Structure 1
């Protein structure tokens, strides 16, 4: 019997005024799988992610999480199953590091006492390679790499079933980007979580992905195992992953 996908998108469409962004996205992510979505700027990667998160509501099509329809009515319940690493970290400047990590534990459904939330936050910081002394600092006192680690600790703080990563290595030097990629892969595997990532960074793709999907002009152009990506004869994928100036993507711009 085929296992129900953790995430399923069927015929998802979205337009903003006269601009159509998604033109019928069909995509499935199995439980415990790490899917990375690639594609050029403006092709619909972020909108796809936001539709799954419920931040944006599609104009047509269906989205299911764990076999259940994702609707406005059950959005709050679904959000409790999600973790999110935002592009740039998106930490609250006025909160200490541990308060950032514990934000959902302190302000969400079933909020925890301050002392307990702090203890869990420190453990999650340790898990991403940060010391307890980091907990009482403010984000402005941290390097970019450390801020990204804090964002990752916050993403895993509630042991979510599904984690979303939005350009996880943006703004990092190659060495720190490699560290973050390795951490993401290790944590997702350790937790048994389902992961959906959007990125332009092909090094991240190869480090994080089990499967890859390329979106182009609002549709999934190609998808397959990460090992198949470099072997595919799809000209759009070949041009994108190798950064070629000439090819079908450049021709239609």
Structure 2
């Protein structure tokens, strides 16, 4: 569904992406791993067109993303942001229904609320949460609200940016299970960027490692542990010594 060929992106003299080649198959869950500052978030933003890549091509269903009609293009995506990115001044249900009430196909308020409550239920939150404000929720509950918002418009493609950051191991496991269930249930194409190897093993069909601006290895998650690439082995096992410089 998504194809990247020789994609580069620099910020001044900082060459972040140095020729990324990657294919994300339709209906599959791709997880991008790599150290901090390796360009994972930049890659995601380039696919969405929030940052324009310098050279190479990024295509969605064979169409160059830079030539796509923006509203129709973005309507195909859902996004779970790393920090939740909930609007503090809006109630929970209004956060979940934000796109439904302000997107290209606006829903009546009552219908949008009904959909929001249903999506909250899908992520394990009762209707009593709907009229609360984000500040009244725990971190794990806020993450679930963010997930409900990401799926509210039934997107074809969902991006997850560090979905378990800041969560305790039990809540991280809950979020991982929800992501996996929802992606399979919706038949969506998913792309996740994460440092959390437990998340990788829980939600990935395929894995790609981004290092020094290129994809060092990509393949099924079942082959990750047997991968011969020393960068992959150092990263997935958290070893201080290896080809990846731990001090940046």
TM-score by length of 2: 0.98
In structure 2, the gaps of 5 or more residues are: none
- Mapped pair 1:193 → 2:205: no
Of 23, 44, 48, the match for 2:43: 48
Does the CA-based 8 Å contact 1:84-1:164 persist in structure 2? Answer: yes
1:134 alignment partner in structure 2: 129
Distance 1:228 1:168 in 2: 23
Secondary structure at the aligned position of 1:91 is classed as coil
CA-to-partner distance for each residue in 1:98-129, whole Å, 9 max, x for gaps?
Answer: 00000000111011110000000000000000
From 140, 149, 153, the counterpart of 1:154: 149
Distance 2:146 2:232 in 1: 30
State how 1:1-253 maps to structure 2 within 5 Å.
6-71=1-66, 74-250=69-245
Displacement after TM superposition at 1:251 (Å): 7.8
SS of 1:120's equivalent in the other structure is helix
Q: Gaps (5+ residues) in structure 1?
A: 1-5
**In 2: Cα distance, 1:117 partner to 1:66 partner:** 29
Contact kept in structure 2, 1:54 and 1:72, CA below 8 Å? no
Distance (Å, rounded) in 2 between the aligned partners of 1:230 and 1:194: 24
Pairwise CA RMSD of aligned residues?
A: 1.1
> Residue 71 of structure 2 contacts residue 104 of structure 2 at CA under 8 Å; is this kept in 1?
no
Q: Deviations 1:178-236 (Å, cap 9, x if unpaired)?
A: 00000000000000000000000000000010000000000000001001001111100
How many residue pairs align between the two structures? 248
Distance 1:9 1:68 in 2: 11
- 1:43 aligns to what SS in structure 2? coil
The Cα shift of 1:138 comes to: 0.2
Partner Cα distance (1:150, 1:252) in 2: 35
